[in-house]
Structures are given as structure tokens and as C-alpha cells.
Amino acid sequence: MELSKNFPHHEAEQKWYQRWVEKGYFRSRPDKNRDPFTIVIPPPNVTGVLHMGHCLNNTIQDILIRRARMQGKNACWVPGTDHASIATEAKVVQMLGERGIAKSSLSREEFLKYAWEWKDKYGGIILHQLKKLGCSADWDRTTFTMDPDYYRAVIKVFVDLYHKGYIYRGRRMIHWDVKAKTALSDEEVIRKPTQQKLYYLKYYVEGSEEFIPVATVRPETIMGDTAVCVHPDDERYKKFHGKRVLIPLIQRPVPVITDEYVTMDFGSGALKITPAHDMNDYLLGEKHGLEIIDIFNDDGTLNEKAVIFVGEERMQARKKIIKALEENNYIIKSEDYTSEVGYSERTHEVVEPRLSVQWWVRMKKLAEPALNAVMNDEIRFYPSRYKNLYRHWMENLRDWCISRQLWWGHRIPAWYDDAGNIIVAEDETKAAALYEKQHGKKATLRQDEDCLDTWFSSWLWPLEVFKGISRPGNDEFRYYYPTQTLVTAPEIIFFWVARMIMAGYEYAGNKPFGEVYFTGIVRDEQGRKMSKQLGNSPDLLALIDRYGADAVRFGIMIASPAGNDLLFDVKEESTLKQGSFFINKMWNALKLVKSWEQRLEEKDDASSFAVAWFHNRLHEAKAVQEQFFAEYKISEALKSLYSLIWDEFCSWYLEWVKPAANETISGSCYRSTIYFFEELMALLHPFMPFVTEEIYHKLKSREDDLIGKQMSAHEPADAAVLRQGELLKELITSIRDARNKAKIKPGEYIKLYLPEADQPVFVSFEKILKRQVNAEVIQYVSHPVPNTLTVIVQKHKCYIEAQHTGAGEEQRKKLEKDLEYLRGFLASVEKKLSNERFLQNARPEIIETEKKKKADAEAKIKAIEESLQNLK
RNA sequence: GGGAGCUUAGCUCAGCUGGUUCAGAGCAUCUGCCUUACAAGCAGAGGGUCGACGGUUCGACUCCGUCAGCUCCCA
């Protein structure tokens, strides 16, 4: 079989993915004879296109799923997308805009028609991109959060929570996006330090020439003031307690109140209270029973309650009011001031705190079991430090605002009559019936216009992908739930992870997943988070096209320390190159091994030591893999495989067994080599599925596929053989180094003398050693050989004889350097051993190892001293 | 303002319950090789007083404290 020069990734990716799908490897059905291993994908936005974050996240999931599949588990990876109400609605509005249609000109039904049109056309592109990455999800299970069943499930949960008393309607202070005209959850608000001006305004005391200076960054809201607050102990203002002051320009009197909340040395120490337009003011207002005056319309313009500048947009109003205040001599001074200002994640407008009637979920009770589950490790977090963060959040939970002023999403199942009575039911018919029952009459009911927060549907994800809400207790649900592992970004621990846990306990009485692995955040080479806004995420499909999916997977995983952020060098693409070099290396190893097919001979295996050594090395590596996976150190696992394949297998093992130019290779050695190669491909397959599958098939013609291969369990490795292998490597390296330093040409043969006393140690790998250091002959001697280079490996003294051992100087320098180090080392060990307090306090085994260190160092020093003698 | 995390070779990171034959890996760098799988390679090498200062200890990269710098989450 002729092998191409390089691994043909385009062809292989297409070929194998198609075959995997056709043979149904990704498909999972309940099977009582096997344990399920289930992962639900964090559903990407239906508007999403593959970016680095997805790539990392889904590669990890695929690695876990493929590994589980090869370990005999019933691996089930459920894919899907999230309807992403705000993002999608924005896309649809944009599409309409391009067609010259204004959203306001459409009815809700018309708009939704366009929205579905958009979704059917562009939605789910990302799922195709995940296939390009090689993701082995069960595509038959693809779920969308607005699928009919899913939709009903969301509504059912809303109705249920409402009747249980968890959901209520309340006037609360919320973040308002004046551009999108919608409420935002706390999480959708981005806080950024912003340069502002702090104005000191005169609030004249009623009927007096005296005034209280009040500092504010939002002078346009003074018309909504309902008090001025000072610290009760503030001497400057004690005389004004109980008095009233006049709001500048409009002259409305408001009381002076006191509260310890005020910081005396910030600003003027006097705070204007505007309960309608500031979170803290609202709380203070509630505490002191203040009136609430809302001076804004929902688009951020001033309303008639503002009295002045009615109809002006808030930022314009600020400019105008400052001018008016200046003209009327109300401004004492202004100073620069930087503080955090909230911006809408979607529209980037400054968020307006606003009082609004919204739907809420009471969280406290739901949170209890969810907090306990994580704290007592029923659900494990990796890395575990997120437990602290989680606890802190769960213990300080606030109610969840779940209504959104959007059309794309799950419409709130609440109906109102003309008097404003509320009926919550799953559909209009049920609502009407319930209304009649409650009120004893029929009425025209009007459904709430708002939609539910997207997270109110995604918190049901692990439940409803198996129809756990719409068809509770069904077989699939009972088999797959709870799922095993959730892989997600730490930034959505509260939006999503915490709420799924709550929903899990509320609706299934059980956790939704056993383990949560938090990935790092992907950053660019400048350390900036990769984001759509910055446009610093590379085009993944282009990278996959250029380097291949395996190289991309490798590149992103190798750079991805567990739980830490990942710096991805987009410019150099260095880890991608490393990945494709690695593929090339394996491809060439394949070519080498295949070339032996024509040179087989059934004979004694001269390299049996190599086979025995690699056999043990492989089992040791398998155990290491298991350990790494158990701790979710996935990039460590990949690093160790990389080194196992490149260094141990290619650089050492293959070189040891490689037949010389005109020689044959023993059949048993060849078969072992093929077996090792297969095992290595199996270990690597979860990380790099395509190239490993290709090599697996090229190694031997076969019917089965690597993706479905069951991994054999590892056996305990023989430590003695492993030590022998390390000794051999060290001998080879040291002798080669000595050759280099003595300027012995690579092609030149040497004579190698080994210590007779150690012959039993060397004999098993003597032949390998001879070839690897290019020795013409190996002899065992009991005394130093004159006119040779000495190499000391561990405790063994070896002598090299060459035609011109010329530059003995290098050799001497090295030995002297080693000697110096060892003497220093010995001194420190001796010092320690002569320290009585050390002897008293240290554990016995520590003292033993120190004694051994001393003996070893002494032996080695002696050997070096002898060698130096020999050099003279 | 509250909370969390990070600071180890040029870069990205490992280093568990404290004990110098462990200060390590990969990439990058340097030297020598176009050796019949691979120059996308092979064989070697150099490079860090483990952010700063204190403390605990016989002994600290590893524990505690203070400080500095960076990042994230929340008010």
C-alpha cells in the first residue's frame, strides 16, 4: 500500500465522519446492560457561529464522550441550540431592517413568522460547524429550546411555580435598556469604569439663605428627588435635621433625612435621594417611606413628572439642565469622577435603573438543596475553588426577574381581564375556564405581552432534552438522568449552572449532573478575552481547513491548563503548528512501520528488551491517563500522550527495534510494534479522532473502527524493566553527549568499555546500546582503560575509545563541574545529618533517604575522581 | 466597597499532604547533523536566587501574614 507523503486531513475528515455517522456510533439508546455516560451540550445560541470558546468547550466534551465510549459506556451526547431571545430578536430586527421593515409595523404574529423564517434559514449553523470539529454528538437528539414539547415544558414549569407561590408579579427596581426597551437581568449589565463629572448643587433650606451642597453625577434626575440624606453624626448638617430643602430650578421642597448609609467624606456628605432612578436610593426610600417620582418614559426621555425639559432624552437633558443650573447659580463646583456605570450587554446603552412591574421567581427555597448538593460534593466542581464562589452567590441570592419585553421566546402564560385580575394557566382555554371558576363569569382575557428570560428555559435543559418535564418518568429520562458531566464556562455558573441544579432538585428530586468541569476563558495573545465585540476570535473553519480538525483540537487543548484561562496565540498559531507537526510525526512513524512489512522474518527477537520495555511503559502510561482524567487534567493527559508517542515510541522504541539497512525484523517484534501503535492510537483517539482512525486502519486491514474499539484495562507495570529502560536511555544520551563534546564525528565508530561488575545489568540491552551510540564493539573491563573518555551514568563507569579522543578538555570540564556540584550537595546533606534537631524532628524515612543520598553522592564523587585521574 | 484567583526559565504552564541527586515540561533560543519514516526532522546544550518583605519550622517554591502588580465575579 502506497502512503501519501502527508496525512490527507480533508479527505480523512470527510470519510471517517461520514462512516461514523452511517454506522451509528454516535447514536445512543437506553441499554440496561451498560452504564450511561451522558453529557448535555451547553446549547449555543441559535444565532451563534463557532468561536474559540465553543471550540474549547466542545472539544473537551467530545474527548470525554469518545473516551467513555471506548471504555464500554453507553455514551450519549445531546446537542442542541438555545433560542437566545435577545440575541435572536436583534438579528431578526436587523434582517427586517435590511428589507426595510420596521418591527413596530408588524404584529406579534407577523414578527414571529419572520423570526422562525430566520431561525430555519440561519439557525443551527453552529451545529454543522461542530461536526467539522469532529464532535460525536447524537444528532438524532438535537433539541431546540422552542421545540413544541420544550415550549410546553417551560410553560408548565411557569404555571407550576406560580401555583406553588414561587412566581409573583412585583414592582421592583430593575435594569432598563432604553434602546431595546426591555428589562435586563443583573447579569446582562456590564459595568465599566466611566469618566463623569460630579456636580455640587445648592439645595436651599426652605425659607432661608442657607443651603446644603449636594453632590451628584446625574443632575438630570433632581426632579425625581424626594429627600436629601446626611449622616446623623455629621456636625455640618445637624442644624438642618428635620428641615426641608428646595430642589433647584423646580423649587419643590423635600425633607432632610439622616441615615448611616451616607459616607461623610464622599462628595459633600449630603446625598440626594431619587428612589425611582437609583438602586440604593430606592432601598433608602423604602426604608424611610419616601415618595417615588418616576421622571422617565420607557425610551429614556423625560416625562411630565419632570416638570422641566419634558420630552428630552436623558443625556441631552443632562446637558441642558447643567446649563440652566449654571445660569441660575446653583452649581458650586464640579470635579472629575470615575465610577462604574452599567451598560447593556446587547445595545451598549447606559442602563437606567427603573421601577417596573415584572415577573419574579423567589429563589431562596429553590436554592437550598442546590447549595447543599455542591457543598457536600454530591455535585463536584472542577476546579473545586468554584465551590466558594458558588456558595457566596447562593447564600446571597436575590429574586430572579424572568420577564423580558420581547416577542421571540416563551410567552408568559398569564392572562388579564379589564380590571387587571391575573390568571395563570397553560393555555387560553384553561385560563378562561379557570377565570370562570374563580370569578363566576366569563371575560375577555388578554395575554401578557412579555416573554420569559432565556435562562428560564435553559435551566430545564438536562431535564427536558429527555422529556423529563413534558413526559415525566419516561424510560429515557430514567436511564439517562442524572447526566454525568457538564462542561461549561465559569462565567455562567450563576446564570445557568446554579439554576439547572435548582430545577433538577425541584422537578426530578435529583441533581442534573454529577460533575461540572469549568473551562478557562479563551484569550488572545494580548490577554484579552475573545469575543464577538472585539472581533479577536479567529475563523475556526478556516483554521480547520488549513490545519485539520485534529490539529485544531490539539492546539486548543495543549494550551488549555485545567481551570485556568487559555491564551491562544492567533497570530503565530504556534500550537496549531505543533499539532500538525505531531500528526506528521505519527504519519511518518506509520510509513516506517509499514515499510517493515516487506522485511519480516520469523527469528529470535534481538530487540526483545525494547518490546518488554515499551509494553510496560504503555501500561504505566495508561494508568497515568486514568489519573489525569479522574482529575480532569485533560491538557496534562494530552501532553503526556504527546510525549509518550513522540519521545518514547518514536524516538526511543522505534529506533531500538528499527532493523539496520539490509536486515530483517522479527515477526514477533513487528506484531508487537503494530499492537503498540494501535494502543497508542486508541489512547489518542478521543483527542485527535481523524488521524488516529486513519492510522488504525492503515496499520492493518480490518472491519472494526477505532471509535468503537474497547480499551483494554491496564496491567501493573514492572518497575524493574522501566528502570532498565531509563538506564539505557541515560547511557545512550550520556555517551552521545560525550561523543559530541569530544568532536567525534557522528559516523565514526567507537569502542565502548563497560564495567565488568555491572555486566548482568547491561546484557539485556547491550545490542541496542551498541547500535544507538554507534559502537563497533562493547567490552567488559574491570579496570579503567587508558586514553579513553570516561562517562559516568548513575554509578556505572563507561569508557569510550575513539580514533581521536582529542578534546579531553571538554570532558574534564564537565567532570569537574559535576564534581563541584556533588561536593556542594554532599556538604548540604552532611550538614543536615549532623544537625541534631533535624535528627530529632524529621520522620525516620526522611532521615533514611538523606543517608542514602549521602552514600550515593560519595560513591559518585569517588567514581568521578577516579575518572579524572584516568584523564591525566 | 465585597469576594475569588493569579504572580515559577524569553513565552505558556506543571510542581499533591513543607525535606536540593525535581526547581520540571512544551514552545522559543543556541550548537552539530540534509543519518535510507519524518529538516514539519534527528542528536545535544544553555537558561529561573520560584513577585517583594516578614513570620512559623531543624528545613519553605510549597504553610501564615503584609505589600505590590494583574485578572475575574458581584455590589
Q: Which of A325-334, A621-630, A679-688 has the highest mean pLDDT?
A: A679-688
pLDDT digits (tens, 9 = 90+) for A66-101: 999 999 999 999 999 999 887 888 888 889 989 999
How large a percentage of chain A has pLDDT more than 70?
A: 93
Q: What is the mean pLDDT of residues A567-591?
A: 83
Tell me chain A's radius of gyration from C-alpha atoms.
37
pLDDT band for A747, please (50, 70, 90 cuts): confident
Pairing of strands A74-78, A36-40: parallel
Which grid cell sits at A135?
Answer: 464532535
For residue A185, say whether its CB is under 7 Å from any atom of strand B: no
pLDDT digits (tens, 9 = 90+) for A284-339: 887 788 888 889 888 889 999 988 889 999 889 999 999 999 999 999 888 877 66
Distance of C1' in B35 from CA in A452, Å: 70
For residue A841, say whether its CB is under 7 Å from any atom of strand B: yes
Residue A821 DSSP code: H
Closest nucleotide to A794: CA versus each C1': B21
Give the pLDDT confidence score for residue A231 in this predicted structure.
Answer: 80
Task: Please indicate whether residue A861 or residue A409 has the higher confidence score (pLDDT).
Answer: A409
CB count within 10 Å of CB A414 equals 22
Sign of CA dihedral A405, A160, A141, A41: positive
Closest nucleotide to A747: CA versus each C1': B35
pLDDT digits (tens, 9 = 90+) for A501-515: 999 999 999 999 999
Report the mean per-residue pLDDT for chain A. 86
Give the pLDDT confidence score for residue A19 in this predicted structure.
Answer: 97
pLDDT band for A855, please (50, 70, 90 cuts): confident
For residue A363, say whether its CB is under 7 Å from any atom of strand B: no
Give the pLDDT confidence score for residue A135 in this predicted structure.
Answer: 97
Residue A583 DSSP code: H
* For residue A720, pLDDT beyond 70: yes
For residue A294, say whether its CB is under 7 Å from any atom of strand B: no
pLDDT digits (tens, 9 = 90+) for A804-828: 655 556 667 667 777 777 777 777 7
pLDDT digits (tens, 9 = 90+) for A12-26: 999 999 999 999 999
* For residue A850, pLDDT beyond 80: no
pLDDT digits (tens, 9 = 90+) for A124-170: 889 999 999 999 999 999 999 999 999 999 999 999 999 999 999 98
Answer for the pair A40, A460: CB distance below 8 angstroms, yes or no.
no
Query: Could you give the CA distance from residue A812 to residue A823 in angstroms, rounded to a whole number?
Result: 16
Query: Could you give the CA distance from residue A172 to residue A247 in angstroms, rounded to a whole number?
Result: 25
Give the pLDDT confidence score for residue A137 in this predicted structure.
Answer: 97
Closest nucleotide to A581: CA versus each C1': B40
For strand B, which nucleotides have at least one atom less than 7 Å from a protein CB? 1, 3-5, 11-14, 19-21, 25-28, 32-33, 35-38, 40-45, 57-59, 70-75
Which grid cell sits at A635?
Answer: 491538557
* For residue A425, pLDDT beyond 60: yes
CA distances from A583 to A61, A425, A518 (A): 22, 58, 28
Distance of C1' in B21 from CA in A861, Å: 12
For residue A209, say whether its CB is under 7 Å from any atom of strand B: no
Query: Could you give the CA distance from residue A590 to residue A41 in angstroms, rounded to a whole number?
Result: 35
Cell match 412591574: residue?
Answer: A357
Give the pLDDT confidence score for residue A524 in this predicted structure.
Answer: 67
Closest nucleotide to A655: CA versus each C1': B37
Distance of C1' in B11 from CA in A724, Å: 35
Task: Please indicate whether residue A844 or residue A209 has the higher confidence score (pLDDT).
Answer: A209
Q: What is the mean pLDDT of residues A258-264?
A: 76
First-to-last C-alpha distance (Å) of chain A: 58
Give the pLDDT confidence score for residue A292 in this predicted structure.
Answer: 87
| List of A residues 253-292 with CB within 7 A of strand B | 279
pLDDT digits (tens, 9 = 90+) for A205-227: 988 888 999 988 888 999 999 99
Q: CA A592: distance to chain centroid? A: 38
Distance of C1' in B73 from CA in A409, Å: 28
Task: Please indicate whether residue A187 or residue A852 has the higher confidence score (pLDDT).
Answer: A852
- Residues 6 or more apart from A348 whose CB is under 8 A from it? none
Distance of C1' in B58 from CA in A853, Å: 18
Closest nucleotide to A837: CA versus each C1': B58
Respond yes or no on whether the N-terminal peptide bond of residue A383 is cis (omega within 30° of 0): yes
Distance of C1' in B64 from CA in A385, Å: 20
- Residues 6 or more apart from A528 whose CB is under 8 A from it? A534, A536
Nucleotide B40, nearest residue via CA and C1': A581
pLDDT digits (tens, 9 = 90+) for A482-495: 999 999 888 888 88
Predicted TM-score (pTM) of this structure: 0.87
| List of A residues 545-564 with CB within 7 A of strand B | 558-559, 561-562, 564
pLDDT band for A472, please (50, 70, 90 cuts): very high
Mean pLDDT lowest for which of A138-142, A580-584, A694-698, A799-803?
A799-803
Query: Could you give the CA distance from residue A153 to residue A159 in angstroms, rounded to a whole number?
Result: 10
- Residues 6 or more apart from A476 whose CB is under 8 A from it? A30, A466, A467
Give the pLDDT confidence score for residue A178 in this predicted structure.
Answer: 85
For residue A600, say whether its CB is under 7 Å from any atom of strand B: no
Distance of C1' in B14 from CA in A540, Å: 28
* For residue A735, pLDDT beyond 80: yes
Q: What is the DSSP string of A790-806?
A: EEEETTEEEEEE-S---
Give the pLDDT confidence score for residue A526 in this predicted structure.
Answer: 62
pLDDT digits (tens, 9 = 90+) for A4-14: 888 999 999 99
* For residue A498, pLDDT beyond 60: yes
Give the pLDDT confidence score for residue A865 in this predicted structure.
Answer: 78
Q: Which of A266-270, A708-712, A788-792 has the highest mean pLDDT?
A: A708-712
pLDDT digits (tens, 9 = 90+) for A352-393: 888 878 899 998 889 989 988 988 889 988 887 788 778 878
pLDDT band for A650, please (50, 70, 90 cuts): very high
Answer for the pair A250, A223: CB distance below 8 angstroms, yes or no.
yes
Distance of C1' in B45 from CA in A813, Å: 15
Give the pLDDT confidence score for residue A353 in this predicted structure.
Answer: 84
Which grid cell sits at A162?
Answer: 406560580
For residue A655, say whether its CB is under 7 Å from any atom of strand B: yes
pLDDT band for A189, please (50, 70, 90 cuts): confident
Strand-by-strand arrangement of the A182-184 sheet: A182-184, A167-177, A352-361, A400-401
Q: How many CA within 13 A on the CB side of residue A412?
A: 28
pLDDT band for A246, please (50, 70, 90 cuts): very high
Query: Could you give the CA distance from residue A604 to residue A665 in angstroms, rounded to a whole number?
Result: 9
* For residue A465, pLDDT beyond 80: yes
Query: Could you give the CA distance from residue A735 to residue A676 in angstroms, rounded to a whole number?
Result: 28
Q: How many CA within 13 A on the CB side of residue A294?
A: 13
Number of residues that make up chain A: 872
Query: Could you give the CA distance from residue A782 to residue A594 in angstroms, rounded to a whole number?
Result: 44
Query: Could you give the CA distance from residue A451 to residue A503 in angstroms, rounded to a whole number?
Result: 19
